[in-house]
């Protein structure tokens, strides 16, 4: 497995993502991975490597730019507040990461550019949903314990991708009111979407280090079943079975 840092620019600012792929395989689908609020850390790159091992060319996107990412000691919601408020800037960043993934894969002659998808965790879950809202040309998007509410909902026909949300029913970061808003948005936009709630599960349930009840806590069964569904959903989207 090869893992390499990729530098790119957005409006004069420098960003650095991580491209991860199996050099021996040339036709694997492209998967954009938007990490949690900590950004392109070794732990999040490790998640990207796990996903690449499942049969994808993975690009872990940088949502903050050099020098603006978190140190890890901040309150997550306080740190993210200005980024969440800057809807246009955040969507520009995720779209640039998506375009960078496609371009860098093409440069290396790797991946199947006709099969593209995105997956995101926590803050990254909202990032990939925003990528879909911006009309990115991809087959599927998967949001895992993501932020579901948005200040700029999609309109009719805006979203091209099939959408899957894997969520903890007891997640206080995106509670039922936000899920209701999301469902209404997807219906109004005419999207093929699915949402699975894991009963009693809270935020960050895929993170083995999350142990901050009642807000965030790891849940192994939800993680295992969620990944199985995510991979099946993406495969079905590529095959036109959704």
- Domain ranges for the chain, please list them: 2-239
Kind and range of the H or E run holding 135? none
Q: In the structure, what pLDDT confidence band is assigned to residue 140 with cuts at 50, 70 and 90? A: very high
The 10 Å Cβ neighbour count of residue 141 is: 34
Q: Give the C-alpha separation, 62 to 42, whole Å.
A: 13
Does the domain made of 2-239 have the CATH classification 3.10.129.10? no
What average pLDDT does range 150-164 have in this prediction? 97
Q: In the structure, what pLDDT confidence band is assigned to residue 26 with cuts at 50, 70 and 90? A: confident
How high is the pLDDT of residue 20? Answer: 98
CB of 16 closer than 8 Å to CB of 3: no
- Model confidence at 121: pLDDT above 90: yes
Tell me phi and psi for residue 117, to 5 degrees: -150, 175
Q: Give the C-alpha separation, 169 to 35, whole Å.
A: 21
Q: Mean pLDDT score of the chain, rounded to an integer?
A: 96
Q: pTM for the complete prediction?
A: 0.96
How high is the pLDDT of residue 105? Answer: 96
The b/e string for 211-223 (b: 16+ C-beta within 10 A; e otherwise) is eeeeebbbbeebb
């Amino acid at each position: 497995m090869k893992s390499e840092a990729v530098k790119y620019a957005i409006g004069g600012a420098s960003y650095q993502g991580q491209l991860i792929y199996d050099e021996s395989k040339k036709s694997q689908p492209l998967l954009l991975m938007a990490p949690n609020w900590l950004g392109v850390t070794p732990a999040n790159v490790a998640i990207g490597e796990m996903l690449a091992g499942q049969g994808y060319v993975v690009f872990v996107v940088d949502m903050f730019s050099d020098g603006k990412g978190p140190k890890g000691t901040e309150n997550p919601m306080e740190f993210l507040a200005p980024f969440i408020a800057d809807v246009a800037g955040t969507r520009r960043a995720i779209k640039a990461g998506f375009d960078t993934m496609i371009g860098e894969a093409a440069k290396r002659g790797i991946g199947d550019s006709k099969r593209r998808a995105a997956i995101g965790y926590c803050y990254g879950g909202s990032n990939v949903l925003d990528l879909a809202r911006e009309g990115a040309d991809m087959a599927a998007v998967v949001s895992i314990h993501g932020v579901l509410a948005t200040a700029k909902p999609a309109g009719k026909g805006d979203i091209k991708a099939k959408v899957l949300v894997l969520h903890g029913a007891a997640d206080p970061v995106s509670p039922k009111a936000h899920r209701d808003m999301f469902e209404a948005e997807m219906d109004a936009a005419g999207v093929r979407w699915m949402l699975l709630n894991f009963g009693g599960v809270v935020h960050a349930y895929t993170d083995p280090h999350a142990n901050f009840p009642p807000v965030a806590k790891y849940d192994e069964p939800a993680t295992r079943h969620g990944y199985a569904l995510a991979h099946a959903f993406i495969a079905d989207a590529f095959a036109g079975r959704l």
